[in-house]
Structure formats: C-alpha cells, structure tokens
Amino acid sequence: MKEFDYIITDPEGIHARPAGLLVKEAGKFQSNIQIKKGDKAGDAKRIFAVMALAAKKGETISVTAEGEDEAEAIAAMEAFLKENL
C-alpha cells in the first residue's frame, strides 16, 4: 500500500469541477484508491464520496492506493492534486 498526505491549497477546497476530474483520474487505475479527511474516508473513484469529505483550503487529506498499479496510481494522484488543488 502507498500513501501520501496533501494540504488543500485551492481557495474553494475540493468543489465539483476538480472533484470530477479527480474521480476521472482515479478511474484510470485498477488499484483501490481511498481519500480520507479526519474520520471520513471514501472511494476516490466515486464523486459523492469525494464531495462528502467537504475538504476546505488548509485542510489535510490522505490518499492511499492498494493494488497492482499502486505506485503509478499514487504518483498520478499526487501530481493531480498539486496541479489542481
């Protein structure tokens, strides 16, 4: 399992447009990708799970990937977050 933490820098937090793009990015991989904030966690491939986290600017999220392409998945998710959120 691979994991990293990320602090949201987007002034609007994780809102609809980047959440949709995040789900699309996560969907490219076979690994199970989870996104977590505090005690809430959800499948990064499901838009409602991502939106339910209600992550705001300055909050820390954790992303984990587990599966055969976990290294590629975690690298892609980290790059996506740095570019978009």
- The two three-digit tokens of residue 5, written as one number: 């933490």
Catalytic residue among 13, 15, 21, 52: 15
* Torsion angle defined by CA atoms of residues 41, 2, 67 and 78, in that order, rounded to the nearest 10 degrees: 70
Active site residue 15: yes
- The two three-digit tokens of residue 9, written as one number: 């820098």
What residues are labeled active site?
Answer: 15
